[in-house]
Amino acid sequence: MTTKPTKNLETFPNPNVERDYEICFNIPEFTCLCPKTGQPDFAQFEIRYTPDKLCVELKSLKLYFWAFRDEGHFHEAVTNLILSDLVKLIAPRFMEVKGIFNVRGGIYTTVIARHGHPPAFE
């Protein structure tokens, strides 16, 4: 394989720093391990953000999400970790990370973590 999972996120300059606009990502194939049983957890992640000076580079984001596959995480912790890592990387004006986890023990879990306040789009 030419690529491997990595937590090394990359950025590029925001091409329209003078304007508020929203970037949205949908990551439908997230997996990690249940920290209690070691069984796989499956989720979809939705990320939306208003960039400031930097944007997240997509290939690095894909490899970053892939890196969670063999790690044990609680739903709440991994969602907040992803938000923290991205905020530290790009310091967005606003960011929301939503983890929508598949059923476990008859319960679906959705975790939403936010940074900043969303801009008022008309």
DSSP string for residues in 6-26 = -----EEE-TTTTS---EEEE
Q: Of 20, 24, 32, 41, which one is the catalytic site residue?
A: 41
Catalytic, 85? Answer no
Provide the 8-state DSSP code for 106: T
Q: Of 20, 24, 32, 34, which one is the catalytic site residue?
A: 34
Catalytic, 41? Answer yes
Q: Annotated catalytic sites, by residue?
A: 34, 41
